[in-house]
Structure 1
Amino acid sequence: MREYVKLHIARILITVLAISLFVLVIWLDGYRNYLVIGYGLLLFCLLLLFVSLAEYLSNAAFYHYLKSGKAVRGSNGSLSKKWRKQFDAREQQMQEKLTELNQHHQNHIRFMNIWVHQMKTPVSVLALMAESEEVDSYDLLAETDRLKSGLATALNFVRLEDFTEDFVIESVSLLEVVKHGIGEQKRNFIRSEVYPKLLSDADITVTTDKKWLGILLFQLISNAIKYSKPESKVCFEIDPFSRSLTISDEGCGIAEADLPRVFRPFYTGQNGRQTGEATGIGLYLVETISKQLDIDIALVSKENLGTTVTLTFRT
């Protein structure tokens, strides 16, 4: 009841003041029947008490929450209904947030488990090289490239959380970014006997974050090389009219059943299970970055024929 009084003290005082003024007016007008005035005041007090008690009981859940901070059910007053609706909505939001945070935490744990497992291979190879008398510099660079690629993927996965804190918009040449991306993967192309081919010298200027666009292209080019056949090509073509970039490979392609799920985190699909080197993070990073950069992405693939990814720039 104390919570009710605290909440409605202003209304109670105003009501009491109004009745007091009414009695005062009657008194000043010359009416001196104390019994009638007292009886009227008693009726008013009883009525006020009854109304207050009824309102309190009908909203007991609300006042209990104010007192103890614990939510209970069982009353159907307007205040309780309104409070319960808001409380349930807030509780649902908190539950959704907790579920999201838990899923986020589980994704990090899962990624780290996969990543650490995959990093064991190049580390073991490097350890064997160190123990041997002869070290082949080509093989050494190949393993260090695998380590660098894995570290870059892990770092970019973490950076996605603070994307807006590491975001710089500028006008850049798309052809220049593509050439730089191909250059970054030069040893990977040579080692896999896959050849990059620019189908034209067309270029467009795009308004974007150059670093994140480079990360997006790095993932797409890495995937194109990884799943391409030796002696095949990865083709790059910029279309100034549609403001798009197309990256096509002649690799193993993607199974039709896997296509709807390729952008999901940790989904490796049939190809990933066969190679055993996929983390299921590459295309997830690609889609997430493309959304942040306002780039439309489309992926078309046929088994044993290859995969084509088209990036369409809105700005």
Structure 2
Amino acid sequence: MQKLMVSLVLVVLASIVTLGWSISQFAKQHESPSTAMTTAEHIQALQLTGENIARALDNEQVNALGVIESWNRHNEEQLSLLDEHNFPLPPSLKAQFESEGQLLLESDEGISLHYRLPHIGQVLKIKTQILPLTENGFDFNQLYTTLFYGGVVLILLLWVSPLIKQLLNLSKVTKAFGSGELQQRIHIRKSSYIAEIETEFNRMADRIQQLVDDNKLLSRAVSHDLKTPIARLRFGIEAVEETDSDVLKQKYFTRLNRDLDAMEELVSTLLSYARLDQANLQLTLEPIELNSWLESKLASYTFHSHHLDFISYPQPLSVQIDPKYLSMQLGNLLSNAERFGHSKIRVQLKVNNGFIELSVDDDGRGIAEQETEQVIKPFVRGQQSRDNAGHGMGLAIVTRIGEWMGSELSIHHSQELGGASMRLSFPYSKNTQ
């Protein structure tokens, strides 16, 4: 929204200043030199001149024709003498002409000034090239004003048209998403005025789709994975009811407890995964030095049938991360390595292409390359894990935490141990050392 408001203010100010200056310069360049003196000022000057000439010519001793001929040779306005009786006028104008001694007449040929010369019985006529101003005359000021406001409106329309298009697209995608098309997303352009709104919509859409997918996933898991222990519980209870042997009853009770433990473990796993969403995940990021943190953390793990090696990085590596959830990721990776490895587990820190890599390798059979994208999904187990206990949630939990915390999980083949190599990548900055 900040980008939208700033661009709006800049467009308005730029359009007003640019158009105003451009039109002003255009008007100055096309202004005729004769417009320096307005029509009214020109006529007023001619009237004063005409009065003086008429006063001078109204004398029988003056050579009026010579004066007029000399004037006409040097001036654009032409003088002429008319006999007063050959100058017919309507009664109203005739009375005005006789009382005032001068008269201004307008015609299609231009404005003419007339002065009465009573002593010689003639009329002095000054013919000009000035056309009379009419109400329909062309007004350049009105034209420039229209151009200015029209230009501002045009520029604003050009600016607002992409915004209207983006809002219509947002409305269309929102309606489609609300109708159940959860895969709908907005393509965000760098020049978009509402990029922040579009980004937040896409995040909201991802969040809603993730919640819907998790709900479907948990529903399928509960209905599928709980059927077996529930069926065993039912058979166990029936067996307890049918036998009188205390030994068999104790055996059946042991099996029932084991089935209940399996159900409790599954429910606990489901709840743990369900809590790992952005709304419930309260991250407390703090700087930790990975070498020392891993050394103390690995010292608390006990492996009865596996040998654990830790290879630290020769320099301190500090990252901003939540140690609680990093510990949860590490625990799931170590549990996975213990379950599928034969006898060796190795934890190592590296720096690779600007990222810190925390790898957990085992000497098991590894994970096929075509299965690496599937085994990180909830309740999906690889071909090598069919005979092992578990629900296929360990790597899914590690992946889900990494989505919110920025510790990305990738699966590789361990060149040294021959099994799987699980790698957590963290952004690396030398300034954090």
Structures share fold, TM-score greater than 0.5: yes
Q: Which residue of 2 aligns with 1:307?
A: 420
Q: Aligned partners of 1:113, 1:47: CA distance in 2, in Å? A: 66
Equivalent position to 2:229, from 105, 125, 140: 125
Offset, 1:211: 0.8
Change (3 A) 1:301 1:60: same
Q: Which amino acid aligns with 2:140?
A: L
Matched, 1:284 2:396: no
Offset, 1:177: 1.5
Equivalent position to 2:143, from 46, 52, 61: 46
Conservation of the 8 A alpha-carbon contact between 1:174 and 1:206: no
Change (3 A) 1:93 1:285: same
Conservation of the 8 A alpha-carbon contact between 2:229 and 2:259: no
Matched, 1:153 2:258: no
For structure 2, list consecutive stretches of 5 or more residues without a partner in the other structure: 1-11, 28-35, 45-129, 170-188, 241-248
Q: Aligned partners of 1:71, 1:32: CA distance in 2, in Å? A: 60
Change (3 A) 1:268 1:174: same
Q: Which residue of 2 aligns with 1:271?
A: 383
TM-score (norm 2): 0.44
Change (3 A) 1:218 1:175: same
Matched, 1:113 2:216: yes
Q: Which amino acid aligns with 2:229?
A: V
Equivalent position to 1:198, from 308, 333, 350: 308
Q: Aligned partners of 2:409, 2:228: CA distance in 1, in Å? A: 40
Conservation of the 8 A alpha-carbon contact between 1:118 and 1:277: no
Q: Which residue of 1 aligns with 2:368?
A: 255
Equivalent position to 2:336, from 220, 223, 243: 223
Conservation of the 8 A alpha-carbon contact between 2:20 and 2:148: no
Select between 36-45 and 143-152 the one with higher mean Cα deviation.
36-45
Note the aligned Cα RMSD (angstroms).
Answer: 5.7
Greater C-alpha Rg? 2
**How many residues are aligned here?**
271
Offset, 1:307: 0.8
Q: Aligned partners of 1:99, 1:88: CA distance in 2, in Å? A: 17
Q: Aligned partners of 2:312, 2:206: CA distance in 1, in Å? A: 43
Offset, 1:63: 7.2
Percent identity, please. Answer: 13
Superimposed CA distance per residue, residues 81-119 of structure 1 (whole angstroms, 9 cap, x where no aligned partner):
xxxxx9972467655653443233222221232234334
For structure 1, list consecutive stretches of 5 or more residues without a partner in the other structure: 1-6, 20-25, 73-85, 184-188
Q: Which residue of 2 aligns with 1:75?
A: none
Matched, 1:89 2:192: yes
Equivalent position to 1:173, from 277, 293, 298: 293
Aligned residue runs from structure 1 range 61-80, under 5 A: none
Offset, 1:284: 2.1
Q: Aligned partners of 2:357, 2:380: CA distance in 1, in Å? A: 27
Change (3 A) 1:200 1:32: closer
Matched, 1:212 2:325: yes
Change (3 A) 1:143 1:178: farther
Matched, 1:98 2:217: no
Higher RCO (Cα < 8 Å, 6 or more apart): 1
Q: Which residue of 2 aligns with 1:82?
A: none
Q: Which residue of 1 aligns with 2:183?
A: none
Aligned residue runs from structure 1 range 19-38, under 5 A: 31=41
Secondary structure of residue in 1 paired with 2:367: coil
Conservation of the 8 A alpha-carbon contact between 2:266 and 2:391: no
Q: Aligned partners of 2:156, 2:331: CA distance in 1, in Å? A: 61
Q: Aligned partners of 2:156, 2:213: CA distance in 1, in Å? A: 47
Q: Which amino acid aligns with 2:139?
A: L
Q: Aligned partners of 1:90, 1:270: CA distance in 2, in Å? A: 46
